[in-house]
Homo-oligomer: A and B are copies of this chain.
Amino acid sequence: MVRPRTPLLNRDRIVEVATAIVDAEGLDALSTRRLARELGVQAPSLYNHFATKEEIVDAIGDAIVAGVDLSMLGRDPWPAALRAWARAYRAAFRAHPNVVPFLARGPARRPASLRLADAVYGALVDAGWPPAQATRIGAAMRYFVAGSALGSFALGFVDDPSLYAADYPHLRDAHRLAGRHAQVDDSAFELGLDALVDGLERRFAELER
């Protein structure tokens, strides 16, 4: 087959199928040949639409970040907006956990990331935060959300008491975390988010004093 009547590929379809592969089997399962096969095509054809494989994965990341709801920013009071946005951001990551390690590679220059940064910064400045502080708050929130999305803390523990008893005296009951890692991570996120925004609110009050 050479140059079909109607194009077989387009960027959106490639990204869609690539996302499905990564979600189902992880980043390592995404090869150009595998992706091409599922698209009914040979691998080099992908290069008519993307310059490199990295560009494809970039597009996956951008699509995910683009799906984060930003409507609360600039509408709700800033502490509530920040909390709601952080939850939405984390939920988007959690829906595609296999992509998160890639998002961690290098700074986010993708359009959706910039739009997100713009919205958070704008909401904070409009609420009365000095611009320099708003930048740092946006960054700190991103740190927390990104970290919570990628490093499942509780998942690190295996359900076998004998592993911990000897070497790690305080972790005697850590093996019990194994079965509840999702709940533990969720409540750790909520606790951290609460503490973080609380701390920011206190700073804000001092600012206006």
Contacts and interface: CB of A to CB of B under 8 A. Distances in A.
Interface of A: 100-101, 104-109, 111, 113-115, 117-119, 121-122, 125, 131, 133, 135-148, 150-156, 158, 164, 167-171, 173-174, 177, 184-185, 187-189, 191-192, 194-200, 202-203
A169 B137 contact: no
Nearest to A147: B147
Given A143-B148, A144-B196, A195-B198, 15 more contacts: A101-B105, A104-B151, A111-B167, A114-B167, A117-B171, A139-B154, A140-B188, A140-B192, A142-B147, A142-B153, A146-B151, A194-B203, A195-B195, A196-B199, A198-B199
B191 A133 contact: yes
Given A191-B133, A199-B194, A118 B171 contact: yes
Closest 10 CB pairs of A and B: A147-B147, A195-B199, A140-B192, A143-B147, A122-B170, A139-B188, A139-B153, A118-B168, A107-B155, A107-B156
Contacts of A197: 195, 199
A138 B174 CA distance: 13
Contacts of A119: 170
Given A151-B108, A167-B111, A168-B118, A139 B184 contact: yes
A153 B155 CA distance: 27
A2 to B, nearest CB: 34
B158 A109 contact: yes
A185 B139 contact: yes
Nearest to A193: B140
A27 to B, nearest CB: 9
25 contacts: A101-B101, A101-B105, A104-B151, A106-B155, A117-B153, A117-B171, A118-B168, A118-B170, A125-B170, A133-B191, A135-B154, A138-B153, A139-B153, A139-B188, A140-B188, A140-B192, A140-B195, A143-B192, A144-B196, A146-B150, A147-B147, A147-B150, A195-B195, A195-B198, A195-B203
